[in-house]
Amino acid sequence: MRTNYCGQLNSAHVGQKVTLCGWVNRRRDLGGLIFIDMRDREGIVQVFFDPEQKEAFSQASELRNEFCIQVTGTVRARPDSQVNKNMATGEIELAAESLSIFNRSEPLPLDSNQTNTEERRLTYRYLDLRRPEMSERLKTRAKITSFVRRFMDGEGFLDVETPMLTKATPEGARDYLVPSRVHKGKFYALPQSPQLFKQLLMMSGFDRYYQIVKCFRDEDLRADRQPEFTQIDVETSFMSADQVREVMERMIHALWLDILNVDLGAFPVMTFAEAMRRYGSDKPDLRNPMELKDIADLVKDVEFSVFAQAANDERCRVIALRVPGGASLTRKNIDEYTQFVGIYGAKGLAWMKVNESAKGIEGVQSPIAKFLTNDVVNAILETTGATDGDLIFFGAGRKGTMSDAMGALRLKVGRDLELTDLNAWKPLWVIDFPMFEEDEETGSLSAMHHPFTSPKDLSPAELTAHPVGAVANAYDMVINGYEVGGGSVRIHRNEMQQAVFSILGITPNEQQEKFGFLLDALKFGTPPHAGLAFGLDRLVMLLTGTDNIRDVIAFPKTTAAACLMTNAPSFANEDSLKELAIAVTQKEVSEDKE
């Protein structure tokens, strides 16, 4: 039906007769002349309708935006005065000789000249995807997946599919359950990841596996999270953590070169403990130059009880954050930041403006200065590196709360004061995560990553004796403050896996019920293995320059896990429910809720 794409025509086609198919992007009727901008997935070209081509000209007078059409004509060069340097096809135009209207369009519910609400864009997603910026994002996504497949094939990895209908196993989030018609009362689960299956593939002898695969997690959503998402899933046998990281770093390095022509350089490596200490986050954004400084040793004996109490409690931190040029912040600005850290559980935010650092306590302005000595102030200035014109924020309290609050403040201030270099790319590896997280109230333990992660240099007995403080052989890749991938060395011995399950409070009976197939498989010569999974959606989000993961998924869900276009989820009919032996006890008031 066509000989060329609109966006691929150029001066080399001058004099050629071509046929194009696409949509009317814009129409201009200049009285005796009609011009349209015609669009397809590859771009836009100007089409000219001459009154001498009477039939085509007559039809062109009917055209409106988003009519679907076919045009045949001859490519010609535009006069120098009419060249459009803002268009890839700006040096040429198509002189139309015939026009076919495949389909007309009603007035659009989306306004291409204004910013539409995301709700409206998602409701009419098929129209939203026609926009060039959306089309480019999905084309880039296709290039990325193609690149990944070529790279992984070249490294000897095998693409192996794993089941979508599987057994519910605890992996950190709620499962999406699928009722079985054949086995009434029983349910499959959609996989949160192919974690156990890829480990079983290693036990089966397929020593290099990968898959670009859909995963499902029933959890609260945000801008960079979806209930169904896509992973680049990787597993290897007989490779150390360092070797896995080397291959994956090489892939991401090559991907950035291929898509953006950006050299990421060598990725620095940082431990979890260092990341939390310096940045208050296990996914630090290194584009921001500010760092957190622990000053507990400086304020143990000060009269300010908020500092002194926290400084003398090993469960707490006292943190200072130097803000270059921050002395220009107003009291209103500071109050707003105080409210901001409150979101993360901080009870307050102390501050100090540095007017003349050489004068010590006499050269600073702070509501807490009266509780400090000159020596303490000088020590704080030295530790933070603060100079004239800077501001120092202080937080004191429980370690987890303070790390979260001051880490988030660091990011917000960095953006607000334009201290973060938004044009830079800063990747790194974060390693040596804790094996377990401890609930401060109950003391119960949960797996930091997942319960199949191997500890570093510990026997089952040693891990069982001292689980708190155990370090996992785990690693995350972080780029510009986003965790783009994470993985670990897996447990490959039955005794260690049972020990971890027991530490997590999973009884022997539950272990057999939920993980019996895995525990059995670990008895038959399981090789050492390790792996990693990248969030494909998040990689595409970074590579296309958007900050919303929904922009790079063709048909995403809202933050309420709903599809506004199809009105999913919806109620099932009674016959289907009876066949599945399911009774619905309560329905939402409205089927149209987001």
Annotated binding site for ATP: 217-219, 226, 483, 535-538
Distance CA 328, CA 339 (A): 19
Q: List binding-site positions.
A: 171, 217-219, 226, 449, 483, 490, 535-538
Q: How far is CA 62 from the centre of its chain?
A: 45
* Torsion angle defined by CA atoms of residues 121, 124, 125 and 129, in that order, rounded to the nearest 10 degrees: -90
DSSP-derived secondary structure for 123-175: HTHHHHTTSHHHHHHHHHHHHHHHHHHHHHHHTT-EE----SSB----SSSBP
From residue 591, give the alpha-carbon distance in Å to each of 215, 219, 566, 568. 26, 20, 12, 9
Helix, strand or coil, per DSSP, at residue 39? strand
Strand partners, 486: 476, 533
Nearest CA to 45 among 15, 22, 68, 17? 22
Q: Beta-carbon neighbour count of residue 489 at 10 Å? A: 22
User: How many Å apart are CA 359 and CA 103, to the nearest integer?
Assistant: 77
* CA 507 vs CA 189, 504, 512, 515: distances in Å: 22, 9, 9, 11
Report the distance separating Cα 37 and Cα 44, nearest Å: 6
Scored b (16 or more CB within 10 A) or e, 122-148 reads: bbbbebbebeeebbebbebbeebbeeb
Q: Which residues are part of a known binding site for L-aspartate?
A: 171, 217, 449, 490
Name the 3-class secondary structure at 408.
Answer: helix
What is the residue whose two structure tokens read 């986050």?
281
Q: Which of 226, 81, 206, 217 is nearest to 551 (CA)?
A: 226
Tokens representing 287 are 């584009």
Closest CA to 157 of 261, 97, 244, 235: 235
User: Nearest 10 degrees: CA dihedral of 543, 546, 550, 554?
Assistant: -50
Residue 384 has a CB neighbour count (10 Å cut-off) of 21
CA distance 501 to 505: 7
Give the rounded distance of the alpha carbon of 358 from its chain centre.
Answer: 45
Cβ atoms 27, 39 nearer than 8 A: no
> Which residues have C-beta within 8 Å of that of residue 363, sequence separation ≥ 6?
354, 355, 356, 357
C-alpha span between 312 and 331 (Å, rounded): 30
Residue 13 one-letter amino acid: H
- Tell me the HSE value of 440 on the side-chain side, using a 13 A CA sphere: 6
Q: Could you tell me the CA-to-CA distances from 297 to 310, 364, 374, 384, 460 in Å, in that order?
A: 11, 21, 16, 14, 37
